[in-house]
Amino acid sequence: MIEIPEKLNITAYYLDSNLEKGKGDKVAVYYRDEKITYGEIAALTNKVGHVLKELGVEAEDRVLLALNDSPEFIASWFGIIKIGAVATDVYSFLQPKDYAYFLNYTRAKVAIVDASTLQKFEQATASSRHLKHVLVVGEGATGGVLSYHDLVEKASDKLQAEDTHADDVALWKFTSGTTGQPKGVALTHRNSVYNFLCYGRQILQYGEEDITLSVPKLFFGYARDAGVVYAFGSSAAAAIFPERSTAERIFEMIEKHRPTVLINVPTMINSMLTTPGAKDRDLSSIRFSTSAGEALPAELYHRWKETFGSEVLDFIGSAELYHGYLSNALGDVKPGSLGKPVPGYEAKVVDAEGHEVPDGEVGVLWVKGDSAGLLYWNAYEKSKRTFHGEWVNTGDLFRKDSEGYYWFAGRGEDVLKVGGIFVAPLEIENCLLGHAAVKECAVIGAPDEQGLIKPKAFIVPREGHEKSDALAKEIQDYVKNTLAPYKYPRWVEFIDELPKDDRGKVRKRALKEKSIS
C-alpha cells in the first residue's frame, strides 16, 4: 500500500525537500556551461511564484508555458505549482492558431514564453478572452509584454508553498491530438507522487550521482518527469539544452556532461545508430536509456546494445495515467515487448465487451493505478469512454504472453483487416527495419482497385541505397519470406523524411492524406 499524505504540494515534495536534506549546494541542473544548484533553482522558483501572485494568479488558475528547455522553464513550472496554480505547457515552435487554441482552452491569465516564440505567440493573443499578461524570457519585452527577468530580479526568493490538498489539480498534460485538437488531462499532486513512488523509485531507481539527459523537450511530460521531476525527487541532476534535438547534438551533450541516464525515443535511437561514425562516439557514461512514445522494435534494441553496450528500458505511459505503467526493468528486459505492469499498477487485455481475453490474443489494454487523471477538460463524452472507475481504457491494442509480458499491437484505429484477418502495422514495420536498405518506415492501410484495405509502406532508404522498383520488390519479397505472405506491403513508396509531430511520433494521418491525394 502506497501512502500519500493528504496535504501535498509537489514543488515542496520534489524540490524544496532537497534543501531540507542539506543538498542546497548540490548541482541540480547542467545548462550550457553553468552548474546550477538546488538552492539556486529553489530561489528562482520562489521568485517566479511571487511574480505570478503579483500579476493576479490565484490557486487553481491555469498558467501557460511556451518555453525552450532552460532553468527558467524548470523554475516556472515548479513556481506555478508551488502557489497552488495549474501548470499547462506546450511546445515552443507552434503556429499562431495553435497558441490561440491553447490560450482559449486553458483560459490562462498569464503566459510565460520564450523570446524565440514571442512573435508567433503575440499573433494569437488578440483572440484570447482571458489572458492578462505575457512574460517573455529573453529579449523582446515591448509594448504590453513584460520582461520575465526584470520582474524576477526584484522579487523575494523566500516563498511558502501553498497548503494544497493531494487531490488538488497541479497540472494538465495534453494528449497528442492524433484525433482532433489536444485535450488536457487534469492531474493532481497525488497522481504525480504515486507514479514517482511506483515507476520512478522502482523502475528508474535514480541515485544522487545520476545525471539525466532527455531527447524529447521538457514540455512533453515524459521528458519533464523522467528527466527533471523524478531526478529532483531522487536528488539527482538533469542536463538540459534549448536547441532542438538532433543525433549530433545528443552525442555532443553526452560527451560534454557525461549523463548516466538517457531519456530517449525510438526515432532518435534509430537516428543515432545510423549517424556515420556512431560506433566511435563515447557513450560509456550511459548506464541505461529509457524509450517511449512508440514501441521500440527488437531489431533497434539489439543494434543499440551491440553498438553502445548499455541497456534500454522500453515502456509505455500516457497523460491519462500521468506517466509509465508498463515497463521493462533492469535485469528483466524482453526485447520487443513493453514489459510488465509497473509495481502499483494492474493491467488487463479485454475484448469489446470488457471481458479478459486469453494470453496470446489481441485486445484493448485497460490499466488501474492511483495516478489516473480526473478527466479530459471540457470533453465529457471522451472522458466517459476512457475513465471507468478505477480503470483507464488506454485505447491501445495489446497481447499478453504466457510469461506476463505485454506486446503492443497498435492503436485501435491503426489495425488493418486484410482478407478478413487483423494485421498490426507495427509488426510489418518491425520486419521492414530488419532490411539493410530501410532507415525508417511507416505502414498504413490503403484501398486497392476493389476498395479492399491492404498494407502500404512508406520507406526512408539508408544512404547508399537508390530508390527503385527493384528495391521495392526486394523489400516486398523480404516481408513475404519473413512474415505470413498476406502481410507484405502491396505498395512501397520511398520518401525523404517521415512526417512527425512535436513528440517525434510519425503522423500517420498525414501519410494517409498523402496516399489519397
451 or 244: which carries more pLDDT confidence? Answer: 244
Q: What is the pLDDT of residues 495-504, one digit of tens each?
A: 999 998 776 7
Q: Assign 423 a pLDDT band (cuts: 50, 70, 90).
A: confident
Q: Looking at the predicted structure, is the pLDDT value of residue 422 above 80? A: no
Q: Looking at the predicted structure, is the pLDDT value of residue 342 above 80? A: yes
Query: In terms of DSSP bridges, do strands 86-89 and 169-174 run parallel, antiparallel, or are they unpaired?
Result: parallel
Q: What is the pLDDT of residues 183-197, one digit of tens each?
A: 999 999 999 999 999
Q: Looking at the predicted structure, is the pLDDT value of residue 408 above 60? A: yes
Query: In terms of DSSP bridges, do strands 288-291 and 261-264 run parallel, antiparallel, or are they unpaired?
Result: parallel
Q: Assign 413 a pLDDT band (cuts: 50, 70, 90).
A: low
What's the CATH superfamily of 191-369+386-411? ANL, N-terminal domain (3.40.50.12780)
Residue 177, pLDDT score: 53
Q: What is the pLDDT of residues 436-477, one digit of tens each?
A: 999 999 999 888 876 777 899 999 999 999 999 999 999 999
266 contacts 498 by C-beta, under 8 angstroms: no
In the numeric block, the cell 544522487 is attached to: 208
Tell me whether the CATH fold assigned to 14-18+36-164 matches the one assigned to 191-369+386-411: yes
What's the CATH superfamily of 416-516? ANL, C-terminal domain (3.30.300.30)
The whole-angstrom separation of Cα 426 and Cα 414 is 9
Q: Looking at the predicted structure, is the pLDDT value of residue 419 above 70? A: no
Q: What is the DSSP letter of 161?
A: P
Query: In terms of DSSP bridges, do strands 133-137 and 86-89 run parallel, antiparallel, or are they unpaired?
Result: unpaired
Question: For residue 475, with 0-12 CB atoms within 10 Å meaning exposed, 13-18 middle and 19 or more buried, which class applies?
Answer: buried
Q: Looking at the predicted structure, is the pLDDT value of residue 488 above 70? A: yes
* Average pLDDT value for the chain: 93
The SS3 of residue 236 is: coil
Q: Looking at the predicted structure, is the pLDDT value of residue 505 above 90? A: no
The whole-angstrom separation of Cα 210 and Cα 261 is 7
Of 269-278, 408-417, 445-454, give the range with the top mean pLDDT. 269-278
The SS3 of residue 177 is: coil
CA distances from 311 to 274, 287, 403 (A): 18, 7, 21
Residue 273, pLDDT score: 95
DSSP track, 367-424: EE-TT--S-BTT-HHHHHHHEETTEEEEEEEEEE-TTS-EEEEEETTT-EEETTEEE-
Q: Looking at the predicted structure, is the pLDDT value of residue 396 above 60? A: yes
In the numeric block, the cell 490499466 is attached to: 367
Encode 431-459: b = buried (16+ Cβ within 10 Å), e = exposed. bbbebebbbbbbbbbbeeeeeebbbbbbb
Percent of all residues in the chain with a pLDDT value above 70, rounded to a whole number: 96
The whole-angstrom separation of Cα 454 and Cα 451 is 9
CATH topology of domain 14-18+36-164: Rossmann fold (3.40.50)
Which long-range CB contacts under 8 A does 383-391 form with residues at least 24 apart?
A: 386/320, 387/320, 391/366, 391/367
Mean pLDDT score, 83-109: 95
Q: Looking at the predicted structure, is the pLDDT value of residue 250 above 90? A: yes
Please report, for the chain, the start and end positions of each structural domain, with discontinuous segments joined by +. Answer: 14-18+36-164, 191-369+386-411, 416-516
Could you tell me the pTM of the whole model?
0.84
Contacts of 305 (CB under 8 A, 6+ apart): 311, 312
Mean pLDDT score, 383-406: 95
The whole-angstrom separation of Cα 502 and Cα 507 is 10
Contacts of 1 (CB under 8 A, 6+ apart): none
Q: If residue 87 lies in a helix (H) or strand (E), which one and from where to where? A: strand 86-89
Q: If residue 317 lies in a helix (H) or strand (E), which one and from where to where? A: strand 311-317
The SS3 of residue 154 is: helix
266 or 33: which carries more pLDDT confidence? Answer: 33
Q: How many H helices and E strands in the chain? A: 17, 26
Residue 517, pLDDT score: 60
Contacts of 153 (CB under 8 A, 6+ apart): 47
Residue 143, pLDDT score: 73
Query: In terms of DSSP bridges, do strands 453-461 and 438-447 run parallel, antiparallel, or are they unpaired?
Result: antiparallel
